[in-house]
Amino acid sequence: MRYIPVNQLKEGMVLGQELQDASGRMLLEKHTPLSKENISYISFLEVGGLYIEDDFSKDVEIKSVVQSEVKKTSLHLVFDLFGQLTDGEENPEEKAFQENVQNVVNDVLENRDVVYNLMEVRTYDNYTYYHSVNVGVLSGVIGAKMGLSEQDLKYVVTAGFLHDIGKVFIDPEIINAPRRLDEQERIHMMEHPRKGSDFLRDHYSFPADITTAVYEHHEWYDGGGYPCRKQGDETLLISRILKAADVYDAMTSNRPYHDSYLPSEVLEYIMGRSGMEFDPEVVKVMVQELCVYPVGCEVVLSNGERALVVENHKGYALRPTVKFVSNERIIDLTADRNAWNLTIVKLMV
Ligand SMILES: [Fe+2]
């Protein structure tokens, strides 16, 4: 299987993963050969890219930290919770929510060796739900690497799923504005952590650390954030993890006000703001654990050749194993002596 950006899809390519929207509705089935109509439908959905299957990539396995069923349930629960939050009654989904979080944590702990996969297929209009689930999973991955207890992992995953729930109370025109917000709008927007944590406290019985992390997810390590300008360990560690996971996922996604950045650019940004916006300990783990060239993506090498990333190696984010498009030769850029002068110069996404 391999990842193809939407503008490079061609008729006859075969879908390697089913395409769904955030409510779990099936849009296109796995193994569907793409027609012209399918491709224009996919472009209309503003999906960034898709996984396709072909002979060249048949041995490339895209591993996922969290099983697709668990992820699907997460999306569904987040979708429901965001959708029904104004009824003011105790939500019967809370138990299902917590059970699902336990499943996410189990997967995260079981798949410690799996590199977090970035090239995620998501439709544009349901950004909030995908983003919430991704932030939950990524926070869990970072938390597990930092040695958090299982309880704290559950807290950080739950807080990730719910961190932006306060945005439901913000004018959608402001949330989706494809421009810089004016001062008044910015102040309104900055209310969402408080509105979200107040809402959760009033309507649910989540542990206090979870509502606190939702409240603190825009604080900066140096005190430059909001709503309380807390600094360093005045915020919970899970809040600092959430903060970094949130920025990472938002920047690698297409948004109304920016196209997505490459994983390498986002990591560069996060490293550059270590100790200011982000907790240096969290940054250290992200730099070690997140890959720059995701498996299944095509890259261009310094000799002009194109290749597919087939495997990542821990601690060597810039030198994965690749398969050349021209002759199907597979080389490990960390170990092959003939490849030491080869570098990756471009990710084709
Ligand atoms: Fe937020």
Residues 6+ apart with CB under 8 A from 25: none
Ligand 1 center from residue 164 Cα (angstroms): 5
Ligand 1 center from residue 181 Cα (angstroms): 15
Ligand 1 center from residue 90 Cα (angstroms): 24
Burial of 240 (0-12, 13-18, 19+ CB in 10 A): buried
Cβ atoms of 87 and 299 within 8 Å: the answer is no
Residue ending a domain, choose from 289, 320, 338: 289
Q: What percent of the chain lies above the pLDDT cut of 70? A: 92
Ligand 1 center from residue 311 Cα (angstroms): 33
Band the pLDDT of 200: cuts 50, 70, 90: very high
Ligand 1 center from residue 102 Cα (angstroms): 23
In three-state secondary structure terms, 321 is strand
Same domain, residue pair 130 and 177: yes
Band the pLDDT of 157: cuts 50, 70, 90: very high
Per residue in 257-297, pLDDT (tens digit) is: 667 788 888 999 999 999 999 999 999 999 888 888 889 99
Q: What is the pLDDT of residue 117?
A: 67
Per residue in 169-197, pLDDT (tens digit) is: 998 888 878 788 899 999 999 999 999 99
CATH of the domain at 252: 1.10.3210.10
Same domain, residue pair 259 and 321: no
Residue with tokens 């990591």: 267
Ligand 1 center from residue 113 Cα (angstroms): 29
Residues 6+ apart with CB under 8 A from 273: none
Ligand 1 center from residue 104 Cα (angstroms): 21
Ligand 1 center from residue 284 Cα (angstroms): 22
* Residue 161 counted as domain residue: yes
Per residue in 110-123, pLDDT (tens digit) is: 988 777 766 666 66
* Residue 61 counted as domain residue: no
Ligand 1 center from residue 332 Cα (angstroms): 39
Name the DSSP class of 248: H
Ligand 1 center from residue 163 Cα (angstroms): 6
Same domain, residue pair 306 and 285: no
In three-state secondary structure terms, 185 is helix
Q: What percent of the chain lies above the pLDDT cut of 90? A: 56
Ligand 1 center from residue 179 Cα (angstroms): 17
Same domain, residue pair 281 and 169: yes
Band the pLDDT of 87: cuts 50, 70, 90: low
Q: How many domains does the chain have?
A: 3
Domain that holds residue 174: 68-289
Per residue in 296-332, pLDDT (tens digit) is: 999 999 999 999 999 988 778 889 999 999 999 999 9
Give which of 134, 141, 205 is closest to 163, Cα–Cα.
Answer: 134
**Higher-confidence residue: 43 or 113?**
43
Same domain, residue pair 338 and 284: no
Per residue in 234-250, pLDDT (tens digit) is: 999 999 999 999 999 99
Q: Residue length, the chain?
A: 349
For residue 120, report the phi and psi dihedrals to the nearest 5 degrees.
Answer: -95, 140
Same domain, residue pair 282 and 326: no
Neighbours of ion ligand 1 (CB under 5 A): 164
